[in-house]
Amino acid sequence: MVELGQIERPKAESFAGRRKLYCVPNIYPIDDAPNDYKELFNKYWDEVAQQIEKIEVAGKIKKIFCEMVYLQGEEALNILAKINDRATQIIKRKSEEGGTLFPLETKEIFGPYLDWGNCLKIVNTQEVFTKVFEFYTEYMDKRLQHILSVIDSNLSAAEAGLLIMKDEDRTKLQFPRDIEVFLVTPPSYDDIMRWFREKWKL
pLDDT at site 2: 57
pLDDT score of 1 more than 80? no
- Please, where are the H alpha helices in 6-124? 35-55, 73-83, 85-96, 107-120
Q: Can you list the pairs that 81-89 forms with residues at least 24 positions away whose Cβ atoms lie under 8 Å? A: 83/28, 84/26, 84/28, 84/29, 85/29, 86/29, 86/41, 86/42, 86/45, 87/24, 87/26, 87/45, 87/164, 89/45, 89/49
Residues 22 and 58: their CA atoms lie apart, in Å, by 10
Q: What is the pLDDT of residues 22-65, one digit of tens each?
A: 999 999 999 999 999 999 999 999 999 999 999 999 999 999 99
**pLDDT at position 88:** 96
Nearest to 23 by CA among 168, 141, 144: 168
Provide the pLDDT for residue 198: 87
| pLDDT tens string 137-184 | 999 999 999 999 999 999 999 999 999 999 999 999 999 999 999 999
Strand partners, 180: 20
Largest CA distance in the chain: 56
Which residue ranges make up each domain of the chain?
49-200
pLDDT over 90 at 90, yes or no = yes
Tell me which of 198 and 28 has the higher pLDDT.
Answer: 28
Residue 17's pLDDT is what? 79
> What type of residue sits at position 102?
F
Q: Rounded to whole angstroms, what are the CA distances from 152 to 2, 19, 73?
A: 19, 10, 20
6: confidence class by pLDDT, cuts 50, 70, 90: very low
Which pTM was predicted?
0.90
Angle between helices 85-96 and 73-83 (to 10 degrees): 150
